[in-house]
Structure 1
């Protein structure tokens, strides 16, 4: 079993450890602690403007309707 907890460091207390002990009773566990990077907020208006610019930039682009984008993505991710 695997559980992921994403909590503020101020919330770490003995109760948190008791919860882990209860969930994994009788088992050996591996605990990894890492900081969670702050995700910048996205300005929806700016994102919209950028998407309009991309649409304009590629307006004359033609894509083969038989092109399987999933296969293409899988090929790239090999």
Structure 2
């Protein structure tokens, strides 16, 4: 079963990569962009047929390895 984990920085945490992209976009003439935040998207293919078990496994993986829960939050979707 395919599971998607979207990881992003919590609000209030500085995002230097997002700032750099924002400045680059401004330099390219995109003046309407006021804030850029960078995250990561992780797609997992889990050998599970039960949606809730797959979601639970992905949540455990995210808490233990995929996200630094001190500064990052995550969302799990099972399309």
Larger strand proportion of the pair: 2
Larger radius of gyration: 1
State the TM-score, normalized to the length of structure 2: 0.24
State the TM-score, normalized to the length of structure 1: 0.24
| Highest RCO, 1 vs 2 (Cα 8 Å, sep ≥ 6) | 2
